[in-house]
Each structure stands twice: as structure tokens, then as C-alpha cells.
């Protein structure tokens, strides 16, 4: 009986250690308060936003290539474009940053009927066509929305609002003609059908503080983890 107990204890310990090592192996970089992430198609690098107004450029293996302070901004998401980085600012603005000069410009969100409640803020951003989609992080379904924003050199106008009902949406990414929305509270990744305005799939994620999501061209998915890391998974391992 004692031998059986010892065997079971050993198997449990090995299984726990393997799980812990597995979780650790998903981490490719340490970035304080990582809050958003985007894959740059031209340079095949990652740009990561942080809550304290910094951004980092990384290789897809996690090597930090650049660290730069933009100012006192609560950055909550980022889109990497050919000429600019477009950051989402929590209190209702986007920050346009020239990738060459790193000069930046704040564009306050405006639009008829647009107003953020005191308990909600901008938490994610992606781009579809000519419009930026910004996620409002909310604790109640009625406040969980996407803002469709048209931006120019000197303006950022909310042209449409989509109510999706996903609470605590912390990041989003448009990939392979699908919109992926991360919920930190639920540890879930939602695939949202924009044409039908409904959730088409729910994917359970490992437990960590999901704050942003992006995909590369090699079937990998990356997450910004608010606890201070960047994580990398194969799409197959997450059943995406």
C-alpha cells in the first residue's frame, strides 16, 4: 500500500512539474505591464504596448530590439502599420506614432453619442479595412462594445458602435477574416462573426492576465500578459 502511495505521489509531482515547465516555456519575454501586442508584417517583429507609456519592439523569439518611452499614457493596445504605430489610450484616444521618427500625436475620440462611462475604458485595438476597431472593457454586458473609428491626420471619429456582450474584453485582433476577442476575466478567446453580430466560437485559454493578442505568418499566436510577460503558442495547441 505504501509503495502504491509513493508511486502515485511521484506521478502527481512529475505531472505538476511538467505543467509548470510547460507554462513557463510559453513565456518568451518579460515586459512590465504588457497591455497590447501587434505583429509587424514588413519587419516580422512584434510591437508591445505597456501601461506606463512605453513600447517595445521584439523579435518573434522574444529578443528586445527597442524600448522607447512615449509619455504619460495608459497604452492598452497597438496596431502596427507600414508607417505608423497606432496605440489605443484607455481614457478615449488613439496615439499615432511615426515608426521612423517616433514623433507622436494624440487623437481624441469624438462622435455623436460617444461617451465612456467611469467604469469602462478602451482596452484593445485592431484594424479592418480603413477602420480601427476599439474594444471597450466593461464589467456588464450592456456596456461591452466595439467602437468603429475613422482616423485622419487630425481626427478620430466614432462612426459606428457594435454591442457584442463580451465582458472584460481586454484585446482583439482581426486575422484570417475573423475577429478574435480576448476576455481576461473568463480566460477565453472568442471568435466573433461581424456579419451576423454574434459569437461563433469560444476557446478556453491557459490562466494568465490576457491583455492583447496577435498572430504571425507562421501559425503562432502571441499574447500580452499584464503580469509582465509575452507568451507564444502554436495555433494548434490552442485549437484555433
pLDDT digits (tens, 9 = 90+) for 173-193: 999 999 999 987 778 999 999
Pick the CATH number of 2-234 from 3.90.25.10, 3.30.460.10, 3.40.190.10, 2.120.10.30: 2.120.10.30
Q: How many CA atoms lie within 13 A of 179 on its CB side?
A: 27
Strands 156-163 and 104-110: parallel
> In sequence order, which ranges of the chain are alpha helices (DSSP H)?
2-25
Which of 84-93, 185-194, 213-222 is predicted least confidently? 185-194
- Tell me which residue of 90, 175, 176 sits closest to 135, measured CA to CA: 90
**What per-residue string of b and e applies to 200-212 under the rule 16 or more CB within 10 Å gives b?**
eeeeebeebbbbb
99 by Cβ neighbours in 10 Å (0-12 / 13-18 / 19+) ranks as middle
User: Taking the complete model, does pTM exceed 0.85, yes or no?
Assistant: yes
Structural contact between residues 80 and 37, judged by C-beta atoms closer than 8 angstroms: no
Highest mean pLDDT among 18-27, 55-64, 188-197: 55-64
Domain positions in the chain: 2-234
Q: pLDDT value at position 177? A: 93
The answer to whether 145 and 181 have CB atoms below 8 angstroms apart is no
Amino acid at each position: 500500500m505504501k509503495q502504491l502511495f509513493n508511486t502515485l505521489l511521484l506521478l502527481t509531482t512529475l505531472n505538476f512539474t511538467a505543467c509548470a515547465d510547460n507554462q513557463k516555456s510559453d513565456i518568451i519575454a518579460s515586459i512590465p505591464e504588457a497591455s497590447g501586442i501587434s505583429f509587424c508584417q514588413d519587419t516580422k517583429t512584434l510591437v508591445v504596448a505597456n501601461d506606463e507609456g512605453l513600447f517595445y519592439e521584439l523579435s518573434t523569439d522574444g529578443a528586445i530590439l527597442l524600448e522607447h518611452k512615449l509619455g504619460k499614457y495608459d497604452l492598452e493596445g497597438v496596431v502596427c502599420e507600414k508607417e505608423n504605430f497606432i496605440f489605443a489610450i484607455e481614457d478615449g484616444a488613439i496615439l499615432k506614432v511615426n515608426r521612423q521618427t517616433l514623433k507622436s500625436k494624440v487623437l481624441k475620440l469624438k462622435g455623436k453619442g460617444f461617451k465612456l462611462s467611469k467604469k469602462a475604458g478602451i482596452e484593445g485595438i485592431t484594424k479592418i479595412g480603413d477602420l480601427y476597431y476599439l474594444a471597450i472593457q466593461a464589467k456588464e454586458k450592456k456596456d461591452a462594445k466595439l467602437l468603429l473609428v475613422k482616423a485622419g491626420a487630425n481626427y478620430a471619429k466614432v462612426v459606428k458602435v457594435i454591442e457584442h456582450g463580451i465582458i472584460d474584453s481586454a484585446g482583439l485582433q482581426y486575422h484570417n477574416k475573423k475577429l478574435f476577442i480576448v476576455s481576461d476575466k473568463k480566460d477565453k478567446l472568442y471568435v466573433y462573426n461581424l456579419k451576423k453580430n454574434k459569437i461563433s466560437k469560444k476557446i478556453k485559454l491557459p490562466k494568465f492576465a490576457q491583455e492583447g493578442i496577435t498572430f504571425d505568418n507562421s501559425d503562432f499566436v502571441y499574447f500580452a500578459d499584464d503580469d509582465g510577460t509575452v507568451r507564444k503558442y502554436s495555433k494548434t495547441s490552442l485549437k484555433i
